[in-house]
Amino acid sequence: MNLQNDLILRAARGEKTERTPVWLMRQAGRVLPEYREVRAKMGGFKELVKSPEFACEVTVQPVDILGVDAAIIFSDILVIPEAMGLDYEMVESRGPLFPKTIRTAADVEALRVANGVDDLSYVCDAIRLTKAALGNRVPLIGFAGAPWTILAYMVEGSGSKTFSKAKRFLYTEPQTAHALLEKITQSTIHYLKAQVAAGADLVQIFDSWAGILSPAQYREFALPYIARISEALHTLVPVTVFAKDAHFIRRDLGQLSSCHTIGLDWTMDATESRQLIGPDKTLQGNADPCLLYSDFATIKAEAHKMLRQFGSQRHIANLGHGLYPDLEKDKVRCFVDAVKEFQW
Write out the catalytic residue numbers: 26, 30, 39, 76, 153
Count of Cβ atoms closer than 10 Å to residue 156 Cβ: 22
d(CA 256, CA 226): 10
Within 10 Å of residue 199's Cβ, how many Cβ atoms?
A: 18
Structure letter (DSSP) for residue 166: H
Please name every residue paired with 268 in a beta bridge, in sequence order, or none if there are none: none
Residues 122, 76 contacting (CB under 8 angstroms): no
What is the C-alpha separation between 220 and 76, in angstroms, rounded?
Answer: 25
Residues 254 and 282 sit within 8 Å (Cβ to Cβ): no
Nearest to 222 by CA among 192, 255, 180, 191: 180
78 in Cβ contact with 50 (< 8 Å): no
State whether residue 222 is helix, strand or coil: coil
212: left (phi over 0), alpha (psi -120 to 50) or beta: alpha
Specify which residues 142 forms β-bridges with: 203
Asked whether 11 and 26 are in contact (CB, 8 A), the reply is no
Q: Which of 200, 202, 56, 64 is nearest to 130 (CA)?
A: 56
Backbone φ and ψ of 158, nearest 5°:
-170, 180
Torsion of CA 231, 236, 238, 240, to 10 degrees: -50
CA atoms of 80 and 251, how far apart (whole Å): 28
Q: Count each helix (H run) and each strand (E run) in the chain, helices first.
A: 17, 9
